[in-house]
Amino acid sequence: MPGHKHEKQEVSDNVKVVVRCRPLNQREKMTGFKQAVTVDEIRGTITVNKFETAQEPPKTFTFDTVFGPESKQLDVYNLTARPIVDSVLEGYNGTIFAYGQTGTGKTFTMEGVRAVPELRGIIPNSFAHIFGHIAKAEGDTRFLVRVSYLEIYNEEVRDLLGKDQMQRLEVKERPDIGVYIKDLTSYAANNADDMDRIMTVGHKNRSVGATNMNEHSSRSHAIFTVTIEYSEKGLDGNQHVRMGKLHLVDLAGSERQGKTGATGQRLKEATKINLSLSTLGNVISALVDGKSTHVPYRNSKLTRLLQDSLGGNSKTMMCANIGPADYNYDETISTLRYANRAKNIKNKARINEDPKDALLRQFQKEIEDLRKKLEEGEEISGSEGSGSEEMDEGDDEAGEPGEGRRRRKGLRFVTKMAIRFDSQIKKKVSPDKMVEMQAKIEEERKALEAKLDMEEEERNKARAELEKREKDLIKAQQEHQLLLEKLSTLEKKVIVGGVDLLAKAEEQEKLLEESNNELEERRRRAEQLRKELEEKEQERLDIEEKYTSLQEEAQGKTKKLKKVWTMLMAAKSEVSKIILETAGIIAVIKTGLETFKATIGKWSLKCLEAELSRIYSINNHEEKKGACLC
Amino acid sequence: MASFSSNEWKAVCAKFTNAQQLSDVESRTDPENDPFRSKYKARELLTEIYCSLKNFEAGDGEEHDDGETSEPEPTEEPLDGEKPVDLDAFSRGWSSDSRAGLRAARLAAVEYYLGVNHVDTEELSAGQEHLMNCMKHLGKCRVSSENVSLFIHVRNQLGILWAGRDETEKSQGFLETAESIYQRYMKENGSPPTDMTEYFCSEENQLTHQERTKKFELAYTHTLYYLAQVYQYFGENERAANYCYSTLQRQLQLNQFNPMEWALNAATLSQYYITKGQYMEGRHCLAAATVISGLAGEVPSEAERDRREQLKQKRSEIARCWIKYCLNLLRDAKKLLEDNIGELDTDRQDELRRARRREEEEEGRKQALLFGSEDTFDSIASVEEKVILGILIRKACFLYLSASLSVIHPKAKEHFQMDGFVTDHIEILQDHSALFRALAFFEEDVERRCKMHKRRVDMLEPICNDLNSQYYLLIRRQLMFELAETYNEMMDLKLTLANRQEDSQSLDNHTIKKFNHLCSASAKYFQMFLDSLCSPEGKIPEHLEEDVLRPALVARFRVARLHSKLISSSPPVQLDNLNKALENYKYVVQYCEAHPEAAAAAETELELSKEMVGLLPLKINRLKARMATNN
């Protein structure tokens, strides 16, 4: 298998949590409930508003992926379950949980509407996915797909595919196969339709046992397990077997359980105090810190059964379902809180290291010595002691525990079983050997007959022995036959990769594939959108920044303007004052001018007079002169 | 005009009995779609009783008829809260043998039952109203043996009610008042008080003193139990634990317990005390758990398989709590006694032991809180005594612990067998191994210490190899790491031993062989641990998860060191080992260079590795040179 696929292991193994919010249903719309939940698929956030108390700020939660009311079943599958199923097909264990209050669409998410391909849920889609994968696999890969279906109700485990529905099963654990349910029925499935049928049988049984189906299903956990084993020829030419398990878990409704029925209203405020002294144990164990202590009875059947899914060696996805309406506020918040906590489920099994300060210190000293020796250029022998030749030989006392582990690790797989049967048959009673044995028996009988003198008793004994051996031989032959039969029935169950077993599943797989591609496209678009959004936001920020700076500037300008304005006004008033003053001056000047003019007039008159008189006098004089002359 | 002997009164009593029956017994079988049918019926009856009660005595010409408002009653209480300590009730109000007092008590009782009824049917506000009315009626009365029981009961109910509404402070107020009323009543009066049910039954049906005490004490036990939860809610864990302790103690004294359940609870509580370092309390709880679990009887025969399994499981659980006690005690002791290089400081040990003994003897037994009813007290004390002796006497400490280990472990493992309970079984083994590790610290004899580690290996090695990695990867990693460390430890001890024995001489062949065996076993398990981190194709991960980061780096470092420790006289083998060592040191250095955040996780190891990366090539070159000349 190409190596790149396995880099997944390096991805954090934390539980992946997604949240899905269903749309308001007809009844809720009719009643006029408000949508209290806002889903932002791009940012991966869910915001819940509380309308009753307006002053309370809305609560926001962030998850790996969130799905709004408009989300499509196929998208949910491709974004959440597909990677898990892919790793199961590679031999990992995977678990998908659906969690949430009753009536928030858990079952729709897990199962959906079977008849409509687009509305099928995670379970039918994973069937199609698995068999699609098988159909595409190389010809020499062999698969065995088995399913089992069980229910946990009141800490009792019931086999939903079993013949006796009254039987209660035990949860057990074995070093080689981990946690298992004793006597749990499992069926081999050859195609997606088989699986569908098996699931339907289980569903029927689930409702048969209960008086009140709704009530029952909301209080019981159902686990549908698909085990996929496959073998393929490795580079070394040997068959390599891998096994992956997929648990599909429909958890009981998360609503706090009061005694609720048609008459009593739903108990909104569950009692915070345990009333009965019989729960004293719970109170006490809540006080105890789990580290380095033992708390009896902490594990429920469910956690035990899924112990390697939660914080263990498994890929786990949890889908929390919530309702959008405001009257679900409390439950929605508690579901989201739970989901938030689930994000942080981590492996509790840590390596407890022995603190070795002394060792480190000693080592420091050793390094010091080494350095000194090297500096001094002294002869260094590789060994501190003077060991003799044979000492460095590997030690046979050590044993090879690793070998045993690998042997045990071998996954149970039919082809492998078949191989084992084969070898068993060979080992036990290979045909050659049988002939040989027969010959030997014959020989011994002859020898026996030859020894006629042998005592009767002894002979009888020997004969008995011989007969027994003969019987053994027959038994072995029978066994051989039986094993061969078993082998052939098992081989029938094995599905060889590439065989066209799709029929209907093919369509679904195609649908899935298509939608996956489409999804890819959309994801790219969403990514682009997100980027654009970010850019826009950045731009907006920039503009805002600019705007603020402009505003500041404007403010500054306004201030300046005001200042200038006042200055202007002052100047103006000064101007008008000056104008007034000037007008006065002008008037004064004017009057001055008038008087001046008058004066000038007067003066010019006077001058004229004087001139005239002078002229006159001259004239007179002239006249006189003239007279004189004349 | 009815008197208490009249037929009318008898009818009231009959109604009351009927209501009780409906509410307590028949309600359990109400159908799912009408879950409160009987409760509603009971409510009707109670309401009728209330009406007739009022008529009765109003007709009797009481001066305090139904006009409550006109009464010169004690100060009005706040409507929905409780004053922190309201003990006025002991000195003020009507005395209960007065007519008015009796009437008020009866009315209060009916209100109480109505309140509880409403709470049961999830109508909290109505319930609250009735309960507060009950408080109001009681407010007029003085506390006495006739009504003290009701005083406590109503406060318990109000405590529950407010806790349900997330108003835990209010809840605390009511419950704490109930507590102080009880204490004061027991101090000042102490006679077995009348139960509320007795208000409504004829003279001949009155309860005996014993029954009265039982009912009254049970109510108070509940008060304590609720308080434990309230304190827990406020995060006052120590107080909560002490109230749990008191609850258990009272259950035992009043003989109101199921032995196995009680024993498990006590054992669980011990786990709280040991994490707080209160070993005396923890030990006491455990001793009590052991004794009381014995009261559950002998393990039944195969016939009752379920019961037999359960009993076995519970006893195993208690045994596991004991293991944790021993383990924590030893670890804490180790921490105290460790000198700066992680060896036992014997002077310190003596000193602490003396101090501890004084403490145990002088103060320990004064402790007020001791479990025990008359018949169990002695046996609890004797179980404890054995433990104390075991721990106090030097040397005997190990003897005791190893002896008890041999008792406890099979007990713990009896139920949790490998087949069927793999995880639990391994946990027990891991604890067992951890106990040996802690014990080894106290052991002065190196040879014996080595044997202790050998036992750890013997315990863990087989399961480690049996487990399927696909399901037990994490447990296997833990086991591999522990095995590697244990072998490493043994190797160090062997070396110390060898050096001590023949200081001047070189090591003999046998020792070297042994040493190399331990060394390579340790390296092998470290390597297995490292391999478990790889992908199925055997690719080393480029990035180590946070929870394996340090272990992985440490394992690399240790593998490197172990390789350079291997003793060999053949130069090519030496060269090979040195190269392997260098490779691993380099890995540590390179990983930390590529992931700078990793350096903090293994600071010292990184520093040392860097030095070695500098020094080892020199050493290797020398070796090569020498090999060349020898050839």
ipTM, interface predicted TM-score of the complex: 0.77
Between chains, do A265 and B248 touch, taking CB under 8 Å as contact? no
Is the per-residue pLDDT at B239 higher than 50? Answer: yes
d(CA A566, CA A426) in angstroms, rounded, equals 116
The two three-digit tokens of residue B211, written as one number:
């029954």
Element (H, E) at A56: none
Greater confidence, A379 or B16?
B16
A211 labelled as ligand-binding?
no
Which residues in chain A touch residue B428, judged by CB atoms under 8 angstroms apart?
none
Q: How far from the centroid of its chain's Cα atoms is residue A85's Cα?
A: 13
Cβ of residue B452 closer than 8 Å to a chain A Cβ = no
pLDDT at A66: 92
* CB < 8 Å from A in window 188-217 of B: none
Nearest CB to B536; choose among A91, A260, A288: A91
Give yes or no for residue B405 having a pLDDT over 70.
no
Q: Say yes or no for a CB contact (<8 Å) between B34 and A360.
A: no
Q: Are B524 and A398 in contact (CB under 8 A)?
A: yes
What's the confidence (pLDDT) of residue B558? 92
Of A274, A360, A367, the CB nearest to B611: A367
**Inter-chain touch A287–B244, beta carbons under 8 Å:** yes
Per-residue pLDDT, B241: 93
Which residues of B are less than 8 Å from A349 in CB distance? Answer: 474-475, 477-478
A100 is in an annotated binding site: yes
Identify whether the C-beta of residue B569 lies closer than 8 Å to the C-beta of residue A385: no
Q: Looking at residue A418, what is its pLDDT?
A: 42
Q: Are A284 and B59 in contact (CB under 8 A)?
A: no
B503 has a chain A CB within 8 A of its CB: no
Q: Are A63 and A80 in contact (CB under 8 A)?
A: no
Per DSSP, helices labelled H in A167-310 are: 192-208, 213-217, 280-287, 301-305
A357 chain-B contacts, CB cut-off 8 A: 341-342
Q: Who among A176, A273, A351 is closest to B478 (CB)? A: A351
The answer to whether B171 contacts chain A (CB < 8 Å) is yes
CB-CB under 8 Å, B221 with A281: no
Is A280–B244 a contact, with Cβ atoms under 8 angstroms apart? yes
Asked if the C-beta of B521 comes within 8 angstroms of chain A's C-beta atoms, the answer is: yes
Angle formed by the axes of helices B99-120 and B7-24, nearest 10°? 30
Query: Which residue in A has a C-alpha nearest to residue B477's C-alpha?
Result: A351
Residue count (chain A): 630
Q: Which of B423, B477, B605 has its CB closest to that of A173?
A: B423
pLDDT for the residue A57: 79
Q: Residue B230: list chain A partners with CB under 8 A.
A: 273
pLDDT digits (tens, 9 = 90+) for B473-499: 888 999 999 999 999 999 989 888 887
Of A135 and B364, the structure prediction assigns the larger pLDDT to: A135
Contacting B residues, span 12-41, partner chain A, CB-CB under 8 Å:
32-36
CB-based contact B512 A367, cutoff 8 Å = no
Task: With a cut of 60, say whether residue B553 has pLDDT above it.
Answer: yes
Residue A10 and residue B541: Cβ atoms within 8 Å?
Answer: yes
**pLDDT score, position B327:** 83
B166-191 pLDDT tens trace: 788 999 999 999 999 999 999 988 88
Report pLDDT digits (tens) over B72-128: 444 444 445 555 445 566 766 666 667 788 888 888 999 999 999 998 887 888 999
CA distances from A51 to A54, A325, A327, B518 (A): 5, 11, 10, 70
| End-to-end CA separation in angstroms for chain A | 162
Is pTM beyond 0.80 here?
no
B window 543-572, beta carbon within 8 A of A: 543, 545, 547-548, 550-551, 554, 561, 565-571
Q: What pLDDT score does A259 carry?
A: 37
Question: Known binder of ligand: residue A105?
Answer: yes
Q: B496 touching A, CB under 8 A?
A: no
Q: Which pair of tokens denotes residue B285? A: 């709880």
pLDDT of residue B555: 93
Closest CA to B122 of A566, A167, A456, A257: A257
Chain A contacts of B34, Cβ < 8 Å? 261-263
First to last CA, chain B: 129
User: How distant, in Å, are the alpha carbons of B39, B444, B505, B510 from that of B514?
Assistant: 78, 22, 17, 6
Cβ contact, residue pair B521, A260, below 8 Å: no
Give the pLDDT score at B173: 93
B233 burial (CB, 10 Å; 0-12 / 13-18 / 19+) is middle
What pLDDT, on the 0 to 100 scale, is given for residue B217? 92
Q: In this predicted structure, what is the pLDDT of residue B497?
A: 84
How many CB pairs (< 8 A) connect A and B?
320
User: Would the annotation count A104 as a binding residue?
Assistant: yes
| Ligand-binding site membership of A141 (annotated) | no
Q: Which residues of chain A have pLDDT under 50?
A: 1-11, 211-213, 256-270, 380-428, 630
Chain-chain contact of A283 with B229 (C-beta, under 8 angstroms) = yes
Rounded CA separation B455/B395 (Å): 20
**Torsions phi, psi of B82, nearest 5?**
-135, 135
A404 vs B493: CA distance, rounded Å: 29
What percent of chain B stands above pLDDT 70?
Answer: 77
In this prediction, residue B9 carries a pLDDT of 81
Q: Do residue B164 and residue A173 have CB atoms under 8 angstroms apart?
A: no
Which of B246, B340, B470, B621 to substitute to test the interface with A, most A CBs within 10 Å? Answer: B470
Contact between A496 and A190 (Cβ < 8 Å): no
Higher pLDDT pick, B524 / B541: B524
Q: What is the pLDDT of residue B89?
A: 65
Q: Provide the shortest C-alpha distance from residue A79 to chain B (in Å).
A: 24
What is the per-residue pLDDT for B352? 63
**B-chain residue closest to A284, CA distance:** B269
Q: Which residue has the higher pLDDT, B340 or A162?
A: A162
Residue A350: what pLDDT?
60
Q: Do A175 and B618 lie within an 8 Å CB cutoff?
A: no
The pLDDT value given to residue A268: 31
Whether the pLDDT of residue B158 is over 90: the answer is: yes
Sign, CA dihedral A177-A183-A184-A190, equals positive
**Alpha-carbon distance A385 to A105, whole Å?**
73
The residue with greater pLDDT, B49 or A391, is B49
* Average model confidence (pLDDT) across chain B: 80
Give A-chain residues touching B171 at CB under 8 angstroms: 273
Pairwise CA distance, residues A437 & B458, whole Å: 43
- Could you give the CA distance from residue B112 to residue B135 in angstroms, rounded to a whole number? 9
Residue range B194-210: mean pLDDT, rounded: 82
